[in-house]
Amino acid sequence: MASVRELIQAFEKLCGSRTAQRRRTDRARSGLALEHLESRVLLAGVMESIPAFTGTIGPGSGSSPVNPLTSIPVLNSRPGAPVQIYLDFDGHTETQDWPGQRTDNQSGPIITPVFDVDGDQTTFSDQELQMIEEVWYRVAEDYSPFNVNVTTVDPTTYNDFETILVSIGGNGSWIGSPGGIAWINAFSNGLSNTCYVFSDNTGFGTSFHMQGTALAASHEVGHTLGLLHHAVYDANGNLTAGYDPGNGTIGPIMGAPYDNEREVWSNAADDNGVNSLQDDMAVMTRAANQTFQYRIDDHGNTIATATKINVTSPQVSASGILERTGDVDYFSVETNSGQISFNVNGLDLNQVFNTTGLHPGTNVNLTLSLYDSNGNLIASDSPANSLNASVSANVNGGIYYIAVSGSGLYGDVGQYWLDGTVIPVPAVPVMIGPTGILADPVPVFEWTVAGNTDHYELEALSATTGALVYAQRALPATQVTHQAQQQFPEGSFEARVRSVAADGTMSAWSNLVSFSIDIPAPPQPVIIAPTGNIAEPFPTFQWLQAGNATSYSLWVNDFNTGKRVIYRTSENALSYVHFDPLKDGTYRAWVRAFNTLGDASPWSTFVEFTIDTPVPDQPIITAPATPTTNLAPRIVWTELASVARYDLWVDYRSGGKPQFIRQQNLTASKYWYDPTALPQGRYTAWVRGINANDEAGPWSPAYSFEIDLEPPTTPQMTGPVGANGGLTLITANPTFTWSTADRAVYYDLWVNNVTTGQVQIVRKTDLKATQFQSLTNLPQGDYRAWVRAVNAAGEVGAWSNVYKFSIDDPTPSVPVFTGPKANPAGVVATATPMFTWTGDIKGTSYDLWIDDKSIGKSQVIRSKTVPEESYVVPTSQSLSEHIYTAWVRAVNASGEYSSWSAPYTIRIDIPNPSTPEILNPSNTISDTTPTFEWTHDGTATQYEILVRDLERAENIVLQVTSLNLSPDGKVASYTLPDARAFLPGTYRFWIRAFNAVGQSSSWSSSRSFVIAAVDQTPSEGLRDQVLLTSLAVPVQKESSSEMIRMTPVRRPVKTETVDAAVPADVQTPAAEAPSAQTDAADVEEAIEAVMTEFADPAFRFEISSDEEQDSTSPAVLAFAALPLALVARDEKRKR
């Protein structure tokens, strides 16, 4: 083994070292902790160290915001653990020297400077604080399987079996500048528990500087726990490397695997020889280290001991630690039917710090497995190119198990985080109440909240028969109590509840709660009033609350006659006043109580009372005030005691009408009367009281009052007004306005036309608003207007001032055409263009005139009352591919026309439609009314579908003018109606498009499909039909022949010469029928030959009435040949 001095010299030569010495006094501070590696030998001057990093070192990072040395983040991996690994970054002074080991020829305390990468030892930059945190994460991951707290908080005491201090900083020039150094077994042997990591030598300036620092920390702590280095030997057992550098992917912590993706604990040869195997985790947890032991396994290792994941939403999560090699952590989860998925991830510092380029920091290569409730493996994942794993599956509802494990290699341990997506199953609620014996027949049910619930279902059952007596099926998820909506009978019951998810999945029923309803009859009530002698014919009967009573019955008898005069049931109050007065006499009253079940108490002891009502006193009328402007004044008098009713008499003195009002049965509870509207004038009123014995008191003194409503004030006309407030208007239906008049309920408007002498050209006598717009157009001229108000009594006020104004509707300006615009080719490409125009002075309507210049026809369109400045040519008047000239003029409300516009000439040229591309149907289908789909462009207005029935040798033509379009307008479809359903069989079809002027595209390529046989056979009447589905073309008469008869019509392509008449259609003979073929290939050839004829865009199917009478027509024979070819083939097979 090379001497320490030789190692130091080699490291300095390769890497150099930072020599600046940094000092600090010990200070208390809180922070985060990460660990790194390096160890030296135990006792007697023999020590182990991790070498310094020997790769290329780049420049340090730039400056970043600074923070005091006390700002180290507080980080603890397992607070409360018996062992602490303290990562010290803010400098350390160690009093215990390393006599005989130091290379600086010094003695005394060892001073470690503050961890520093930016040359400022007085502060920490944000970058340095993040580096500290990264070191803590990595060291915490290395020691996560153990019951250890990796911390950045100074524990202040460093006893054996309790604390290991990792002093991080500087270059270690006092000991030869290694990556780190420690005494072996310092944790347990009485030596200083301090080990050192020289962060200047662990990859300073590289992207993995902190990975190297953390590696050194974990490595040096391992030495204090008794670990030696892992070395590398060749096949002959010869030492080739004293520190195992790893393979780039994985390396041992007790080697020097700088810049490996993972560092792990190892079970391999140490530096004592090829046959000296060191089991790292066993050595560290051996008995000699006492308190340094494994964590307790956090999750079960079997399905039976799996940790349950509570599902409260579709997203679930869990976490754990694989503490030992081969550890498997099981989780259980309940899900509904559907797709579920899970992911497991180890520590990834790129995600922690939202960066890239770091080795993740995890020690474990994860495997994830999914099992069903019987333990059968459903899915498993341990990808070769990732340390993480994912599984997914489409499952039925039930309980499933997720197993998290490592790859099985030694040291494959560490932390993991599990997340997933499931379909939540509603949880089972717990029924709480009601319980026991209830005296209330309307019980309140209560249960606990259940997760994943859309609503609850509640049931109450008879405990005796088990029959359902009450149910609620849609109680809101937010509600965990419910009061019954009906009374329960007496008896014993059981209640239960279950939750229901949004998709209708139900949980199991909850536990049952038992309760009984036992409602005692209410006690005898006590009636307390009326009693004794009273003068009130409307006495108040009163009684006391009787226990659990919910309603009462009242019985009153006339004592002298024994006749019942009052009997009231279901009274919920504790008092009652009867609606009819009682006459003088003696009465007895009883009351009894009822509970909610209708059980009655005994009748109360009666009360006896005597009514002796005096003759009513004389009332006094006190209102209305006189004179009054109220047309319906309230008549008020003094209230009298002991009256049963009032009698009111009112004379209309001004009108000479006695008893204009006579109300003889006014209720005693009101001592006033509100009449309906009264005419103006003088009135006299009297009133008297009448008791229950019909004894009338004296009439009141006469009371006179007068209704005198003042006439309305005079309104003032304020409009109509013209532009800028002038009195000359350009509108023919002006709005008249006026000011509000006091006491007006409506207005009377009068308007004269002075120019024509027409009086009351406008007269409205019932206007409730203060404005009115003329309902008709008024002619031009001079006008005079007046308005007056009318009050509620119909009295009119004075006419307003005369209001003078004139209507002068300006002649509209000459319109100027603005459209339709020609395209770049100089033509308009639609048969229904929109003509647009504009003008400075608008008309109320427009007169449009369009001539066809190509054929010399005038007024092909003439619309004299176009309401807007645009006109769309209707489909029924679609323009041909000709040249057109249009004129337009405007007319105002007075009928005055502008001059005709300048002529506007356009040329219509409709582009040929594009050839459709067939999309569907294809292959084998079962629908006998298939949906045809094809590509569509805007130039096509209708389509023609030719369908060839290959089995029956028939041709079917569909004329499609009514179709469906996709939202983007690029796909058209047509569904065959039920009445035209196809027979099962094999079909081939073609499609072509037509534009608005009848020009066709080429036929599409053909497409074949098969309709599978079904149980019911469609009507045979379909075999000889031409199917038409057109809104514009009449349905033709169906053929009675055994074949389809069609006439191909050649239509010359229309030329660009727009001033020539369109030539008439010319019919040409069909191609001769092909000879009968003997096999399917020849039949297909025959079809294709005929389709060559169809491919001519000028060809179109038509059926003529003459041809229906003559099946020998050449046009018929063209298609008759096709069924003959298939017949010949069938005959050959028969022979």
Domain extents in the chain: 4-52+60-229, 307-351+361-421, 431-517, 527-611, 633-707, 717-807, 816-907, 918-1131
Q: Which pLDDT value is given to residue 1015?
A: 52
CATH architecture of 633-707: Sandwich (2.60)
Same fold? 307-351+361-421, 717-807 = no
How would you class 104 by CB atoms within 10 Å of its CB: exposed for 0-12, middle for 13-18, buried for 19 or more?
A: exposed
The two tokens of residue 188 are 């347990």
How would you class 1032 by CB atoms within 10 Å of its CB: exposed for 0-12, middle for 13-18, buried for 19 or more?
A: exposed
DSSP letters along 339-381, please? Answer: EEEEEEE--BHHHHTT-SSS--B-----EEEEE-TTS-EEEEE
Residues 6+ apart with CB under 8 A from 540: 529, 530, 575, 576, 577
Q: Which of 869, 862, 1061, 1030 is nearest to 962 (CA)?
A: 1030
The two tokens of residue 21 are 């010495």
Q: Which pLDDT value is given to residue 1042?
A: 30
Q: Which residues of the chain have pLDDT under 50?
A: 1-46, 55-62, 1016-1081, 1083, 1094-1135
Q: Which pLDDT value is given to residue 169?
A: 97
The two tokens of residue 168 are 């991080």
Question: Is the bond preceding residue 820 a cis peptide, omega within 30 degrees?
Answer: yes
How would you class 893 by CB atoms within 10 Å of its CB: exposed for 0-12, middle for 13-18, buried for 19 or more?
A: buried
Q: Is 218 helix (H, G, I), strand (E, B) or coil?
A: helix
CATH T-level topology, domain 717-807: Immunoglobulin-like (2.60.40)
Strand order in the sheet with 681-690: 657-667, 645-652, 681-690, 703-707
Question: Is the bond preceding residue 99 a cis peptide, omega within 30 degrees?
Answer: no
Q: Which pLDDT value is given to residue 1048?
A: 34
DSSP 8-state class, residue 270: B
- Which residues are paired to 1049 by β-bridges? 1067, 1100
Q: Which pLDDT value is given to residue 46?
A: 38
In contact, 84 and 154? CB cutoff 8 Å? no
**How far is it, in rounded angstroms, from Cα 749 to Cα 305?**
95
Question: Is the bond preceding residue 1097 a cis peptide, omega within 30 degrees?
Answer: no
Q: Which pLDDT value is given to residue 439?
A: 87
CATH architecture of 816-907: Sandwich (2.60)
State the number of CA atoms in the 13 A half-sphere of 241 facing the CB. 14
Average pLDDT, the chain: 85
The two tokens of residue 800 are 């307003």
How would you class 231 by CB atoms within 10 Å of its CB: exposed for 0-12, middle for 13-18, buried for 19 or more?
A: buried
| Helices 1080-1094 and 1114-1134, packing angle to 10 deg | 170
**C-alpha 818 chain-centroid distance:** 46
Q: Which pLDDT value is given to residue 1089?
A: 54
Q: Which of 847, 890, 886, 843 is nearest to 865 (CA)?
A: 847
Q: Which pLDDT value is given to residue 995?
A: 87
**How far is it, in rounded angstroms, from Cα 769 to Cα 750?**
15
Q: Is 1091 helix (H, G, I), strand (E, B) or coil?
A: helix
Q: Residue 476 belongs to what H/E stretch?
A: strand 468-476
Region class of 190: left (phi > 0), else alpha (psi between -120 and 50), else beta: left
In contact, 307 and 318? CB cutoff 8 Å? yes
Q: Which pLDDT value is given to residue 1085?
A: 56
The two tokens of residue 483 are 């009061």
Q: What are phi and psi of 596, to 5 degrees?
A: -65, -20
How would you class 6 by CB atoms within 10 Å of its CB: exposed for 0-12, middle for 13-18, buried for 19 or more?
A: exposed
Q: Which pLDDT value is given to residue 1014?
A: 59
DSSP 8-state class, residue 140: H
Cα torsion 271, 276, 279, 283 to 10°: value is -80
Within 548-628, residue ranges assigned H as helices are none
Domain 527-611 part of CATH 3.40.630.30: no
The two tokens of residue 607 are 């009360």
CATH class entry, domain 307-351+361-421? mainly beta
Domain 431-517 part of CATH 2.60.40.1220: yes
Q: Which pLDDT value is given to residue 329?
A: 98
Region class of 585: left (phi > 0), else alpha (psi between -120 and 50), else beta: left
Tracing tokens 């645009």 back to the chain, one arrives at: 870
Instruction: Characterize the bridge pairing of strands 1007-1011 and 923-925.
Output: parallel
DSSP 8-state class, residue 335: E
Entry pTM: 0.48
Q: Is 142 helix (H, G, I), strand (E, B) or coil?
A: helix
Per the document, the length of the chain is 1135
**Candidates 2.40.50.100, 1.10.8.60, 3.40.30.10, 2.60.40.10; CATH matching 918-1131:** 2.60.40.10
**How far is it, in rounded angstroms, from Cα 747 to Cα 770?**
8
The two tokens of residue 603 are 């009748």
